[in-house]
Amino acid sequence: MKVNFKKIYKHLSPKAKHLMGKKGRLLRLANESMKTLSREGAFLALGHKAILMVNLLIDWLKGNYKGVKKKNLLLIIVGILYLLNPIDIIPDFILGLGYLDDVAVFFSVLHRMQDELDQYEDWLQGAKKSEKA
């Protein structure tokens, strides 16, 4: 499914920028999106990367992970806002099809920030090694 990500980003980025200053609310939205990502089978096509992306945001919000580019934080927040938006291109209640547009938006976000996710994944591996030591 093809979505016009530039249009979606333009529409949702002002709200995403506003939310960056409201970390408590953003953390609640991130946790809510994590439940949806874990529950809905449509997101399995994205592998672990969609959950990794939201975990990156959560670690940034908690102050555990630093150095994230602001543009990538905005991309993640736009993806979450779209996912949690009840009015999107294909309404989520349509069985079997409802999350296709959400998956397409998340895929677009993942594609745009692959390097950042790779760095975060490396950081996670280092953090796990230091915990074991």
> What are the pLDDT digits (tens) for 73-88?
999 999 999 888 866 5
DSSP string, 26-89: HHHHHHHHHHHHHH-GGGGGGTTHHHHHHHHHHHHHTTSS----HHHHHHHHHHHHHHH-SSSS
What angle, 0 to 180 degrees and rounded to 10, lies between the N-to-C axes of helices 49-61 and 70-84? 120
Instruction: Give CA–CA dist 108/111, Å, rounded.
Output: 5
> What are the pLDDT digits (tens) for 41-64?
667 767 788 889 999 999 999 999
